[in-house]
Amino acid sequence: MAEQVLRVIGGEPLHGEVTVQGAKNSALPMMAATILCKGECVLHNVPRLTDVTAASRILNRLGCRCHIEDDTVTVAGDTISQYEIPDADMRQMRSSIMFLGPILGRMGACDLTMPGGCELGPRPIDLHLETMRRMGVSIEEEGSRIRCKANGLHGARIHLPFPSVGVSENVIMAATLAKGETVLTNAAREPEIIDLAAFLNRCGAKIYGAGESTVVVQGVEQLHPTAYTVMPDRIVAMTWLCAAAASGGSICVRGAHPRDMEACLSALESAGCRFGICPDRIFMDAARPVKAIADIRTMPHPGFPTDAQAILMALLATAQGMSVFEENIFESRYMHAGELLRMGANIRILGRTAIVRGVPKLHGASVTAQDLRGGAALAVAAVGAEGETVLHGLSHIDRGYADFAGVFNSLGGKVRRVLF
Ligand code: UD1
């Protein structure tokens, strides 16, 4: 069967303005959270992504009414009549685990299977299940099915061994309608958690301290619907900045929140890029060439985000000097490195460390995206490379970027999505 690929002709500096899309990692948990509200919620600035379509399909299968029009998603979540997520949906999208807390909160039961694949190495759900247990859920595993039941969720004191984003969100969502108070310590502090809590609080939830490591949730009887605008996607903003930098161009990223991107902007500044920062936009002029960065460690927020690691590596593949990455969040998150080698990069992987010796130029090649951000990284490399790159595996990129090729072209890039 014919497959769609991106053909990228590199070497042209990207220049111009782009408006950043809404954050996938905020929109997905928020869509799941609508299940907790009585009535119809409206979410604006939801990007058109295959993951959003997958979340909408799950909502509709559960008996909710979810409708997508342009970047607005309308969900009547309270018409939910099922509590089982089919295996095919669980496999399709890793974030399907975000439905666990809301379905339990609403229905008192949830049946699911392990979320899909192992794109970034093993992605266990043990902490999701353990925290739900602490809130009164009994869990039985029957073959591949995980059956969760609660006779009324109750608040609990929960300390996370690691500040997992998804687990923090599931606990917060489940706790909104639970009996009593939940105190979550060592919670993740990602901006998307603040966004989710702001949405839920607007629906009448009582969540205090989101964005800090201790979050307190006082359970309420019910939540009412609201309209809410999803925050901008900081990883997509970083992608456009890195693409402009890799091509030796300049860019204005509109609608971004630089306050949520300190670690990324500081890395690009170390690489020699120059910035003008306003609260809702970022101007950047690339360094030519960029400078290597000695020490990039991925960490929970506010540390350097694991989701930006591949994208920055693509840029630093042509930096002057040697850059060193340490990946501390996921086990197998260097799959893009092998593809970058095909484009002439010099990268050595030693366990969780990647050593990137900058080369003067990359060249076009046939490469394959093996995960979402790794795929975006290959496109970043391709716009700075000499000659044509053919990028396969677009289904990964479509999970997280709306109109990927269109944005490059609006900046003067030469990117075509064609049948191969
Ligand atoms: C979220 C983001 C993802 C980002 C990641 C880290 C969404 C939809 N996705 O994913 O883009 O890369 O945060 O910033 O928001 N872990 C366990 N047991 C569990 C759960 C997690 O061991 O039950 C481990 C994971 O394997 C991983 C680490 O915790 O090593 C961090 O994962 P987590 O923060 O949970 O990431 P996600 O919420 O899946």
pLDDT in tens, 67-94: 999 999 999 988 999 999 999 999 888 8
Backbone dihedral angles phi then psi of residue 168, each to the nearest 5 degrees:
-60, -40
pLDDT score, position 83: 97
pLDDT score, position 94: 85
Give tens-digit pLDDT for 367-383: 999 999 999 999 999 99
Residue 62, H or E segment: none
Share of the chain above pLDDT 70, in %: 98
**If you measure from the C-alpha of residue 168 to the centroid of ligand 1, how many angstroms do you get, rounded to a whole number?**
10
Is residue 167 within 6 Å of ligand 1 at its C-beta? Answer: yes
pLDDT score, position 120: 64
Q: What is the mean pLDDT of residues 380-393?
A: 98
**If you measure from the C-alpha of residue 202 to the centroid of ligand 1, how many angstroms do you get, rounded to a whole number?**
26
Q: Which of 118-122, 140-144, 251-255 has the highest mean pLDDT?
A: 251-255
Q: Among 31, 52, 172, 329, which is best to mutate for testing ligand 1, by the most ligand atoms less than 8 A from CB?
A: 329
pLDDT score, position 256: 97
Which has more confidence, 340 or 89? 340
Contact of 78 with 38, CB cutoff 8 Å? yes
CA–CA distances in Å: residue 130 to residues 136, 185, 199: 10, 15, 25
Give tens-digit pLDDT for 149-183: 998 899 999 999 999 999 999 999 999 999 999 99
Q: Among 94, 112, 146, 165, which is best to mutate for testing ligand 1, by the most ligand atoms less than 8 A from CB?
A: 165
pLDDT, averaged across the chain: 96
The whole-angstrom separation of Cα 95 and Cα 372 is: 13
Is residue 310 within 6 Å of ligand 1 at its C-beta? Answer: no
**Residue bearing the CA closest to ligand 1, atom 35:** 164
Q: What is the mean pLDDT of residues 211-223?
A: 98
Name 333's Cβ contacts closer than 8 Å, sequence gap at least 6. 120, 121, 298, 306, 309, 310, 327, 371, 374
The candidate with the shortest Cα–Cα distance to 33, out of 203, 179, 173, is 173
Q: What is the mean pLDDT of residues 249-262?
A: 98
Backbone dihedral angles phi then psi of residue 165, each to the nearest 5 degrees:
-65, -55
pLDDT score, position 117: 53
Q: Which of 118, 203, 252, 278 is catalytic?
A: 118
Is residue 301 within 6 Å of ligand 1 at its C-beta? Answer: no
What does 316-338 look like in DSSP terms, one character per residue? HTTSBSEEEEE--S-SS--HHHH
pLDDT score, position 142: 87
pLDDT higher than 80, residue 121:
no
pLDDT score, position 56: 97
Q: What is the mean pLDDT of residues 16-25?
A: 98
Is residue 371 within 6 Å of ligand 1 at its C-beta? Answer: no
The answer to whether residue 41 is catalytic is no
Share of the chain above pLDDT 90, in %: 92
pLDDT score, position 157: 98
